[in-house]
């Protein structure tokens, strides 16, 4: 066979070469630098030079096709199929065309191509310098191109062609559904050219003054270059490695070989930005500050099962794609650094007023998740009135911001949950985001508040597990009050009085009966307010001193979360709105007595005297619970009077007075002669009085 003969021939040649090498030696210092091919072609009627197409993660793998029917020139074009939203074959189309060996592109000044689409739609991203290795130094791209149904030529200038003398990343693109719809994109005549019309480079910088701390890597905020191409400005997103940064004072701010800038000592320095030998921006002032306290140990390692997690950022899990961790929205002053704390990757935000974190290209479906988690660390004061806010935004099925089906909710966290100079784990039930009516198309996370420096780690959604619980595993503590001292609405420990309903028609809640470790329990879900009625047979609690119930919730009870309890007495006529009704509502939170807490049974023992507006308790007819705890387990609901002389009447007489009778004027006392008292309850007062005996 020919293959076999070729193998023998190669083998023979190798033997000859090996013999030749044993007969002489060559001084490697005399070897010339390797020369790479200068082939500019990427797609001209076919792929050039054995390019390898490498699809990006979670993209449509069969997106590319050679199209011989629709082309700009020659025999064929490259057609890209962009999937519709929800297409199981991929979230979007995108990939890199990688050369098997490096090419020398230093003689060209631009990538050019012709393109069109089956409808008017944004291209997304197109460029070069990405070899899909994860460590590409020189990616450059455009993200401002809108395609039409007619062929057009586009230009992506090379920021500094001298950097691309040995480049494998020939071409990259990324494009997703537009207004939920998929479509086709055609590329043709894709190549590098020496146009000679690419001129006037100007760096794109976010600010002419930046700050950082001693020992930190400082970003100067250079994100790209604006070129004049044939009379029109074109903006290219360019990696920092394209630029040369020169510091006016290396003892303050030192520039590394890779272009990174490190704060060396407190002070200011000016940074000159160059592309090749051309200065392309006004000088940038770098202020190096005394380092603030920073974490020395990493955030606690997550314990949730990876199968139950959708991770945005954590070394413990595989993370989903995030478009950006800093959207640079108007009026946002936040600056972002990727750092490590004891070997653990961490996001550090400084100058934070608010920051947008966006994942709109591939939205997150967290509809099956129960919690949102993130760990934060701040050197800033967290005592009141300092707040930290977390906002989640869902773009809805159309996947478009402000498309008419968006939903969102923001939670505010304060002390004592927040803490200074320690890691704080915010493990937030998604049910607490009450305005977030859908979680199937989450696209944005916004962090804001009074903490100007925040370290962030372990940002993920989880389902149950993870060292926390979404339901109690133990029953509520068994009541200890004597049955004779109790009027019970619901408890296995006592005989319960009749209750008409545990969820009235007019309430906004769902209730279910279940058992927790064999104990009967009420579970409220979707709880906004629940009406519990016992109007047919009202409860006479006039001899009782306390109201008790046990609650358990998976929801966050940190401020501003509250839980409310209202008791309503219908009066002697037993009718709602009959003119003699009275009621009172108490509001409990994590700081009140009693206090509410998450993921543990909390026994609420409330003196009936605390219900100050409840002036009578002889005809109680309604109990209403409400607040921010949307999921609530309830048990042992009863009224009681405590024994041992602490109930509603004394068991022993008052201590006998010891003052001499000659030194006393007595109004009312058995040991003394009392003066005349006209009345112990005047006509104008609001009280009833009776004469009784206590132990005689």
Q: State pTM to two decimals.
A: 0.52
In contact, 461 and 364? CB cutoff 8 Å: yes
The span from the CA of 605 to the CA of 593, in Å, is: 9
Specify the range with the lowest mean pLDDT, choosing from 217-226, 389-398, 499-508: 217-226
* Number of DSSP helices (H) and strands (E) in the chain, helices first: 1, 43
Q: Which residue has the tokens 């028609």?
A: 505
Q: Which residue has the tokens 């005349």?
A: 676
Q: What pLDDT shows up at residue 398?
A: 84
Q: Which residues are within 8 A (CB) of 512 and not within 5 positions of it... i.e. 6 or more apart?
A: 522, 523, 525
Answer yes or no: is 5 within a domain.
no
**Do 410 and 527 belong to one domain?**
no
Q: Which residues are within 8 A (CB) of 518 and not within 5 positions of it... i.e. 6 or more apart?
A: 475
**Do 493 and 617 belong to one domain?**
yes
> What average pLDDT score do residues 186-203 get?
96
When divided into structural domains, the chain yields a total of: 4
Structure tokens of 180?
């939920």
Q: Torsion angle, CA of 50/52/53/55, rounded to 10 degrees?
A: 180
**Do 215 and 166 belong to one domain?**
no
Answer yes or no: is 691 within a domain.
no
Map residue 113 onto helix, strand or coil: strand
Residue length of the chain: 696
Q: What pLDDT shows up at residue 528?
A: 85
Residue 395, judged by CB atoms within 10 A of its CB (0-12, 13-18, 19+), counts as: buried
**Do 454 and 310 belong to one domain?**
yes
pLDDT tens digits along 633-643: 999 999 999 75
Residue 378, judged by CB atoms within 10 A of its CB (0-12, 13-18, 19+), counts as: buried
Q: Which residue has the tokens 């002032």?
A: 285
**Do 245 and 212 belong to one domain?**
yes
Answer whether residue 6 shows pLDDT above 60: no
Answer yes or no: is 3 within a domain.
no
The span from the CA of 253 to the CA of 271, in Å, is: 9
Structure tokens of 86?
């929800």
Q: What pLDDT shows up at residue 91?
A: 79
Answer whether residue 644 shows pLDDT above 50: no
The span from the CA of 312 to the CA of 131, in Å, is: 24
Answer yes or no: is 635 within a domain.
yes
Residue 2's H or E segment, with its range, is helix 2-23
| Residue 493 lies in domain | 483-640
pLDDT tens digits along 462-482: 987 444 456 888 899 999 999
**Do 364 and 384 belong to one domain?**
yes
Answer yes or no: is 32 within a domain.
no
Answer yes or no: is 695 within a domain.
no
Q: To the nearest whole number, what is the mean pLDDT of the chain?
A: 88
**Do 174 and 58 belong to one domain?**
yes
Q: What pLDDT shows up at residue 160?
A: 95
> What average pLDDT score do residues 337-345 get?
92
DSSP type of residue 245: E
- Which CATH number does the domain housing residue 188 bear? 2.60.120.430
Share of the chain above pLDDT 70, in %: 91
Answer whether residue 689 shows pLDDT above 80: no
**Do 383 and 454 belong to one domain?**
yes
Q: What pLDDT shows up at residue 695?
A: 60
In contact, 555 and 540? CB cutoff 8 Å: no
The span from the CA of 180 to the CA of 84, in Å, is: 6
The span from the CA of 184 to the CA of 63, in Å, is: 9
**Do 224 and 190 belong to one domain?**
no
- Which CATH number does the domain housing residue 227 bear? 2.60.40.1080
**Do 335 and 424 belong to one domain?**
yes
**Do 625 and 546 belong to one domain?**
yes
Share of the chain above pLDDT 90, in %: 63
Answer yes or no: is 696 within a domain.
no
Answer whether residue 25 shows pLDDT above 50: no
Q: Which residues are within 8 A (CB) of 316 and not within 5 positions of it... i.e. 6 or more apart?
A: 301, 302, 306, 458
Answer yes or no: is 474 within a domain.
no
**Do 248 and 331 belong to one domain?**
no
Residue ending a domain, choose from 152, 173, 195 = 195
Q: What pLDDT shows up at residue 507?
A: 85
């Amino acid at each position: 066979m020919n293959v076999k003969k070729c193998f023998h021939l190669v083998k023979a040649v190798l033997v000859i070469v090996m013999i030749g090498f044993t007969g002489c030696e060559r001084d490697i210092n005399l070897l010339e630098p390797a020369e790479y091919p200068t082939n500019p072609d990427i797609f001209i009627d076919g792929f050039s030079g054995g390019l390898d197409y490498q699809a990006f993660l979670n993209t449509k793998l069969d997106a590319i096709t050679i199209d011989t029917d629709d082309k700009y020139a020659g025999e064929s074009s490259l057609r890209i199929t962009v999937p519709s939203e929800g297409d199981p074959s991929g979230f979007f189309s995108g990939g890199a065309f990688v050369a098997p060996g490096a090419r020398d592109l230093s003689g060209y000044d631009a990538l050019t191509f012709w393109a069109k689409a089956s409808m008017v739609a944004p291209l997304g991203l197109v460029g070069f310098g990405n070899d899909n290795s994860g460590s590409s130094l020189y990616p450059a791209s455009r993200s401002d191109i809108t395609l039409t149904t007619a062929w057009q030529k586009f230009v992506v200038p090379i920021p500094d062609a001298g950097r691309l003398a040995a480049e494998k990343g020939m071409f990259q693109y990324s494009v997703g559904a537009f207004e939920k719809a998929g479509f086709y994109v055609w590329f043709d005549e894709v190549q590098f050219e020496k146009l000679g019309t690419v001129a006037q480079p100007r760096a794109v910088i976010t600010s002419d003054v930046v700050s950082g701390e001693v020992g930190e890597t400082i970003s100067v905020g250079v994100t790209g270059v604006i070129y004049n191409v044939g009379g029109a400005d074109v903006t290219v997103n360019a990696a920092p490695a394209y630029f040369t940064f020169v510091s006016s004072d290396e003892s303050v701010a030192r520039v590394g070989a890779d272009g990174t800038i490190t704060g060396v000592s407190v002070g200011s320095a000016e940074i000159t930005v160059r592309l090749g030998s051309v200065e392309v921006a006004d000088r940038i002032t770098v202020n190096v500050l005394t380092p603030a306290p920073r974490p020395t140990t990493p955030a606690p390692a997550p314990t949730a099962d990876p199968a139950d997690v959708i991770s945005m950022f954590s070394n413990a899990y595989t993370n989903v794609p995030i478009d950006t961790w800093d959207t640079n929205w108007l009026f946002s002053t936040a600056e972002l650094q990727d750092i490590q704390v004891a070997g653990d990757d961490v996001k550090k935000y400084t100058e934070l007023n608010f920051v947008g974190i966006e994942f709109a290209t591939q939205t997150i479906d967290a509809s099956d998740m129960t919690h949102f988690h993130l760990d934060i660390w701040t050197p800033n004061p967290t005592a009141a009135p300092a707040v930290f806010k977390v906002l989640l935004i869902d773009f809805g099925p159309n996947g478009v911001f402000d498309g008419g089906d968006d939903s969102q909710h923001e939670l505010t966290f304060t002390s004592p949950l927040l803490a200074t100079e320690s890691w704080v784990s915010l493990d937030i039930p998604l049910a607490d985001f009450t305005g977030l009516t859908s979680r199937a198309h989450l696209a944005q996370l916004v962090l804001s508040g009074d903490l100007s420096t925040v370290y962030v780690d372990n940002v993920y959604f989880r389902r149950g597990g993870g060292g926390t619980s979404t339901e109690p595993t133990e029953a509520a503590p068994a009541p200890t009050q004597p049955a004779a001292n109790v009027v019970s609405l619901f408890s296995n420990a006592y005989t319960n009085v009749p209750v008409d309903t545990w969820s009235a028609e007019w309430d906004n809640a769902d209730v279910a009966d279940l058992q927790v470790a064999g104990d009967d329990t009420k579970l409220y879900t979707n709880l906004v307010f629940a009406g519990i009625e016992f109007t047919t047979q009202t409860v006479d609690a006039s001899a009782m001193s306390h109201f008790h119930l046990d609650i358990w919730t998976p929801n966050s009870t940190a401020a501003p979360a509250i839980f409310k309890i209202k008791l309503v007495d219908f009066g002697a006529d037993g009718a709602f709105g009959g003119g003699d009704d009275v009621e009172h509502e108490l509001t409990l939170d994590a700081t009140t007595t009693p206090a509410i807490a998450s993921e543990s049974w909390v026994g609420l023992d409330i003196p009936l005297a605390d219900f100050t507006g409840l002036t009578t308790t002889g005809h109680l007819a309604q109990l209403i619970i409400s607040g921010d705890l949307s999921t609530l387990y309830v048990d042992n609901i009863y009224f009681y009077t405590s024994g041992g002389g602490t109930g509603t009447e004394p068991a022993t007489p008052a201590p006998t007075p010891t003052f001499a009778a000659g030194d006393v004027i007595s109004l009312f006392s058995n040991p003394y002669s009392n003066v005349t008292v006209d009345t112990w309850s005047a006509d104008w007062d609001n009280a009833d009085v009776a004469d009784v005996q206590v132990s005689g």
